[in-house]
């Protein structure tokens, strides 16, 4: 690599980096997960399916990727965005080479897992997408970078550009911005829902097609199941880590029920890997935006992520978690506890007999401990001491389980009784969301549907 | 009554395996044997017979081979990782685990709640956690001679377990991970397999001269880490929870308190 590259314009690079990372910080999808790729001689980098966080910023959020905007110039005027065209801020852009050099140098030092490249819309969507493509091409083809790349698709860019970029990236995402079309219309007048969903669909279809692709672009052949002795060298895959999206929570008046319904349909219909929720932070002070005197709605964001986990890993459906009648989360109880309390007829559950999916629905039992229970009970009959060793949170689960037909204590299976005991145990919220009281103190009179504790 | 026998070993993988070999060979009876590490600084027991063992490669190989064939390769990995932990009592925990393992075979790994299995799993979990943290928090600095150097001070002896990750990732680079506490280094030359060397053979003075680009990069990185935080959400507590002080010693971008 060229050593004098940065020396004469060090300052300008540092300045650009500071402006363009500052402008990118509200993007939440900083994960490097979803694809396992070994290193290759002659190139730099590999990827790990679980993802790695290399640092944690002062707000406690993980830094996994070099998260920057290519440019903070933008032709659009979305009311919630720090880079909206009517805002008076310093505008600057990187060149593809600058981004590629920074990525490689950071990557060599194990600062980052790869690149997260987004951009404001410069001139027009196609021009911007071309710049992003060029950066990725430089990294992949000339610098032989084999690490993780997450790139934003620019809504409105040409299909061909999106496709070309998809073959170079690990993950591609298009921001849904706001949960509903009405919200988008009111706050982002230059964007429309169709333009956002179209490339999403395109990526989904492209990803499915690349599973079957063997020869040229036009010829689609179903890959034979592993019957060949020698598998031919794999062709480049299209967006192997899948696509994600993010939406802003609390800028528009949607209910939690609407939001998780949207998330569920994105998982089902668009085969998304992740939906990210970002608590709204009022940076532009636009008159049409809500003011949030209590700070960003972090508890609500936390509850949405909890529900999201239930959708993805616990076999729940959105309609089980919330409903038209109780459209918002309970502030006091996590969504799973809440569900269990309104389905007491299913409990208690015999730990030594219940099937895996039933175990997953018990508060205090997670994916890991459910798996361990299933493995351990092959050779032993489990009692409460064993469950504790396997990582089950007994103080939550004792109301819902039996071991060899016995409950741990004589407990009434009655909603009021359990709630009273549950509320005594402090829920472990991440620092900053609840317990520490920095932003949001949990209170009985919170604004998020706490009127009836039990739905 | 038979007096208890206490086998002492040096706490390395070879040392522990040798002690286990000797304990089995003595046919004294498992119930009356305990294995301890010499770094375990406990009071000597009365009415016990102390036997010192010395790491022997041949005996150690035999134990390793038995674990692989009589239990399973997965069990071998679990045992090695527990042996590389620094927790006290690991030698005895492994000894007990192997007793059960040799009796039951590969299914021993499923008996998670068994008192002979659980301690080994806990040791392994501790080591695994530290490995995953070090894969994330290791920092390389570029020296004048373009070698990438990383200094670490892990609790468990894990540089041999993290080196393969970096060998795969940075195949074209010359790099070195140096364990300050144990004075050991994993060294990798471009396109060659990594090797473990004793720190005594290193030239310390050349390890402190950074390349010109290095300082710029450190500044850029610092800038990035500082600006990426959202000030409305700042929470030092959460940051500390995710990235505890013990990992920060060689991370220049993070505030670090010396104990």
Ordered by start, the domain boundaries in chain A are 7-223+232-321, 335-424
Closest CA to B71 of B110, B37, B36, B44: B110
- Inform me whether the C-beta atom of residue A205 falls under 8 Å from chain B C-beta atoms: no
- Inform me whether the C-beta atom of residue A226 falls under 8 Å from chain B C-beta atoms: no
- In terms of phi and psi (left: phi > 0; alpha: psi -120 to 50; beta: otherwise), the region of A449 is left
Residue A278 sits at φ, ψ, to 5 deg, of: -125, 115
**Reported ipTM:** 0.91
- Mean of pLDDT values over A55-65: 91
CB contacts under 8 A, A 29-58 vs B, are: 38-46, 48, 52-58
- Inform me whether the C-beta atom of residue B100 falls under 8 Å from chain A C-beta atoms: no
- Mean of pLDDT values over B10-17: 92
Output A228 or B151, whichever has higher pLDDT.
B151
Most confident of A224-238, B60-74, B210-224: B60-74
A261 SS3 class:
helix
Helices (DSSP H) in chain B: which residue ranges?
13-26, 57-66, 73-83, 90-104, 118-137, 159-169, 212-228, 236-242
Nearest to A25 among B220, B227, B253 (CB): B227
Q: State which H helix or E strand residue A212 sits in.
A: helix A193-212
CATH 3.20.20.70 fits A7-223+232-321, yes or no: yes
The DSSP bridge partners found for residue B34 are B6
Q: Do the chains contact at B212 and A52, CB–CB below 8 Å?
A: no
- Mean of pLDDT values over A262-281: 90
Residue B231 confidence (pLDDT): 87
- Residue A198 in this model has a pLDDT that exceeds 60: yes
For residue B112, give the chain A residue with the closest CA: A376
- Residue B40 in this model has a pLDDT that exceeds 70: no
Which of B103, B106, B159, B221 is the best residue to mutate to test the A interface, defined by the most A CB atoms within 10 Å of its own CB? Answer: B221
Spatial neighbors of B89 by CB under 8 A, at least 6 apart, are B36, B40, B119
CB contacts under 8 A, A 357-396 vs B, are: 372, 375-376, 378-380, 382, 386, 389-390
- Mean of pLDDT values over A267-274: 89
Confidence tier at A210 by pLDDT (50, 70, 90): low
Which of A68, A110, A351 is the best residue to mutate to test the B interface, defined by the most B CB atoms within 10 Å of its own CB? Answer: A110
- Residue A425 in this model has a pLDDT that exceeds 80: no
Q: Do the chains contact at B213 and A389, CB–CB below 8 Å?
A: no
- Residue A217 in this model has a pLDDT that exceeds 50: no
Q: Do the chains contact at A39 and B168, CB–CB below 8 Å?
A: yes
Residue A232 confidence (pLDDT): 46
* Separation CA A156–CA A165 (nearest Å): 14
Lowest mean pLDDT among A271-275, A281-285, B82-86, B214-218: A281-285
Provide the mean pLDDT of chain B.
91
* Separation CA A427–CA A424 (nearest Å): 9
Segment A319-369, tens digit of pLDDT: 999 998 889 998 888 999 999 998 999 999 999 999 999 999 999 999 999
* Separation CA A21–CA A102 (nearest Å): 12
Q: Do the chains contact at A56 and B138, CB–CB below 8 Å?
A: no
* Separation CA A117–CA A27 (nearest Å): 10
- Inform me whether the C-beta atom of residue B25 falls under 8 Å from chain A C-beta atoms: no
Closest CA to A73 of A29, A139, A119, A138: A119
Chain A residues within 8 A of B238 when measuring between CB atoms: 56, 59-60, 430-432, 436
| Interface A:B, Cβ pairs < 8 A | 180
- How far does the CA of residue A234 sit from the closest CA of chain B (Å)? 19
* CA distance readout (Å), A445 to A53, A255, A304, A437, A442: 37, 18, 20, 15, 9
Nearest to B110 among A18, A44, A375 (CB): A375
CB B157 within 8 A of CB B128: no
**What pTM value is reported for the model?**
0.85
B9 SS3 class:
strand
* Separation CA B194–CA B210 (nearest Å): 22
Residue A374 confidence (pLDDT): 93
A248 SS3 class:
strand
- How far does the CA of residue A389 sit from the closest CA of chain B (Å)? 7
Lowest mean pLDDT among A48-57, A289-298, B215-224: A289-298
- Residue B122 in this model has a pLDDT that exceeds 60: yes
Residue A421 confidence (pLDDT): 84
């Amino acid at each position: 690599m060229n050593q004098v590259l940065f020396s004469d314009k060090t300052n300008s690079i540092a300045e650009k980096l500071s402006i363009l990372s500052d402008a990118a910080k509200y993007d939440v999808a900083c994960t490097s997960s979803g694809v396992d790729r070994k290193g290759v001689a002659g190139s730099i980098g590999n990827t790990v399916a679980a993802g790695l966080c290399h640092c944690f910023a002062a707000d406690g959020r993980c830094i996994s990727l070099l998260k920057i905007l290519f440019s903070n110039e933008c032709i659009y005027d979305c009311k919630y965005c720090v880079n909206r065209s009517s805002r008076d801020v310093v505008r600057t852009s990187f060149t593809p080479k600058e981004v590629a050099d920074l990525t490689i140098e950071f990557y060599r030092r194990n600062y980052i897992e790869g690149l997260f490249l987004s951009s404001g819309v410069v001139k027009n969507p196609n021009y911007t997408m071309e710049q992003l493509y060029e950066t990725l091409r430089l990294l992949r083809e000339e610098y032989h970078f084999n690490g993780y790349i997450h790139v934003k698709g620019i809504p409105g860019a040409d299909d061909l550009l999106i496709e070309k970029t998809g073959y170079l990236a690990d993950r591609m995402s298009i921001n849904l911005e706001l949960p509903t079309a009405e919200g988008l219309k009111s706050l982002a007048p230059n964007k429309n829902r169709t333009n956002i969903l179209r490339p999403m669909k395109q990526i989904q279809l492209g990803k499915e097609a690349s599973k079957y692709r063997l020869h040229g672009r036009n010829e689609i052949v179903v890959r034979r199941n592993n019957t060949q002795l020698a598998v031919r060298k794999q062709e480049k895959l299209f967006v192997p880590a899948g696509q994600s999206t993010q939406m802003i929570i609390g800028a528009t008046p949607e209910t939690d029920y609407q939001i998780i319904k949207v998330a569920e349909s994105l998982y089902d219909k668009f085969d998304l890997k992740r939906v990210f929720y970002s608590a709204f932070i009022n940076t532009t002070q636009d008159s049409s935006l809500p003011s949030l005197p209590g700070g960003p709605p972090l508890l609500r964001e936390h509850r949405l992520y909890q529900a999201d986990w239930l959708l993805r890993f616990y076999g729940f459906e959105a309609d089980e978690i919330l409903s038209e009648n109780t459209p918002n989360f309970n502030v006091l109880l996590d969504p799973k506890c809440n569900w269990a309390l309104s389905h007491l007829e299913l409990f208690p559950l015999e730990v030594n007999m219940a099937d895996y999916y039933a175990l997953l629905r018990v508060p205090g039992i997670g994916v890991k401990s459910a798996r361990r229970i299933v493995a351990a009970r092959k050779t032993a009959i489990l009692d409460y001491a064993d469950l504790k060793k396997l990582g089950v949170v007994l103080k939550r689960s004792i109301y819902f389980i039996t071991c060899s037909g016995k409950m741990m204590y004589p407990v009434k299976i009655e909603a009021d009784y359990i709630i009273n005991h549950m509320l005594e145990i402090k829920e472990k919220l991440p620092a900053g969301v609840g317990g520490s009281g920095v932003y949001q103190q949990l209170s009985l009179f919170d604004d998020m549907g706490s009127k009836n504790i039990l739905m | 009554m038979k007096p208890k026998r206490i086998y002492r070993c040096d706490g390395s993988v070879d040392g522990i395996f040798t002690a286990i070999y000797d304990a089995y060979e003595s046919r004294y009876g498992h119930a009356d044997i305990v294995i301890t590490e010499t770094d375990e600084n406990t009071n000597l027991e009365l009415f016990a017979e102390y036997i010192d063992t010395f790491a022997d490669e041949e005996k150690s190989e035999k134990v390793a081979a038995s674990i692989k064939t009589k239990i399973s390769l997965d069990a071998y990995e679990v045992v090695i990782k527990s042996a590389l932990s620094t927790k006290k009592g690991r030698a005895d925990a492994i000894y007990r685990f192997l007793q059960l393992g040799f009796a039951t075979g590969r299914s021993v790994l499923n008996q998670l709640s068994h008192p002979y299995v659980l301690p080994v799993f806990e040791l392994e979990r501790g080591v695994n956690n530290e490995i995953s943290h070090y894969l994330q928090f290791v920092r390389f600095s570029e020296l004048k001679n373009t070698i990438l150097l990383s200094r670490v001070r892990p609790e468990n002896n894990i540089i041999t377990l993290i080196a393969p990750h970096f060998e795969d990732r940075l195949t074209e680079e010359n790099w070195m991970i140096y364990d300050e506490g144990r004075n050991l280094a994993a060294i990798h030359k471009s396109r060659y397999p990594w090797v473990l060397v004793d720190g005594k053979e290193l030239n310390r003075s050349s390890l402190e001269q950074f390349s010109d680009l290095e300082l710029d990069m450190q500044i850029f990185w610092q800038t990035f880490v500082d600006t990426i935080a959202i000030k409305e959400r700042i929470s030092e507590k959460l940051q500390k929870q995710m990235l505890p002080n013990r990992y920060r010693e060689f991370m220049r971008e993070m505030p670090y308190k010396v104990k």
